[in-house]
Structure 1
């Protein structure tokens, strides 16, 4: 699957946006686009291609085009592993996020929580 360009401006990277990701009020395409932007992926509307020249080599080599983090377990695992140990609990520590109910534990929601935690870590660095 090829990632597509975000159609609208991205929301600001702040705690309201992080809560929007956790509460599923921000759509999957926008959530992916936020992470892509933070990783350095840029869509060139002239060529209709992704430019990954600003992406860290370990991401660019694994994902020449930005991955769909909501659908891709390997991409989300890579995100998880890239969060520094001291930032692994930021959802709980900074936002007081208590996690999802057992009946809500589906891959899509847990990947959104991973993305939210990664973004908090990104904001902190």
Structure 2
């Protein structure tokens, strides 16, 4: 997971526009949740993961295959950041009939990452 794209608005748009694959989206969220894979021990190091995630997910969840994990990610976005994609990036959403659960989960991941950027003072520009 050392080849992750930088956390910036270009990456968020790439998630929303589906130019970054699902596996990389998962890895980005895992990274910022605190999950690290220890190659030597061949296991996940969760020492930096907050307990509410670590206890339920001792290994990082696939947010595209696990509806409960995707819902937990949505719920973990602070209320004041729930509309950040719209307010900060100008994301208009997906067109009706052109999106499904996968796109919804991509938007959730992008919104969670944008919220992370806001909380941690990471600049929005690329």
**TM-score category (smaller protein):** over 0.9
State how far apart, in whole Å, the 2-side matches of 1:12 and 1:70 are. Answer: 21
Q: TM-score, normalised by structure 1?
A: 0.92
Question: How big is the shift at 1:71?
Answer: 1.4
Q: Deviations over 1:38-90 (max 9, x none)?
A: 00000001111111111000000010000001111100100111111110000
Match among 17, 29, 34 for residue 23 of structure 1: 17
Equivalent residue number for residue 62 of structure 2: 68
State how far apart, in whole Å, the 1-side matches of 2:60 and 2:12 are. Answer: 20
Structure 1 moving runs of 4+ over 6 Å? none
How many residue pairs were aligned? 119
- Is 2:39 aligned against 1:45? yes
Equivalent residue number for residue 122 of structure 2: none
Equivalent residue number for residue 34 of structure 1: 28
User: Relative CO higher for 1 or 2, CA cutoff 8 Å, sep ≥ 6?
Assistant: 2
Question: How big is the shift at 1:105?
Answer: 2.3
5+ unaligned residues in a row in structure 2: which ranges? 120-126
RMSD: 0.8
State how far apart, in whole Å, the 1-side matches of 2:68 and 2:103 are. Answer: 15
State how far apart, in whole Å, the 2-side matches of 1:49 and 1:104 are. Answer: 38
Q: Which secondary structure does the structure 1 equivalent of 2:55 belong to?
A: helix
5+ unaligned residues in a row in structure 1: which ranges? 1-5
- Is 2:58 aligned against 1:81? no
Equivalent residue number for residue 3 of structure 1: none
State how far apart, in whole Å, the 2-side matches of 1:105 and 1:9 are. Answer: 28
State how far apart, in whole Å, the 2-side matches of 1:84 and 1:44 are. Answer: 30
Q: TM-score, normalised by structure 2?
A: 0.92
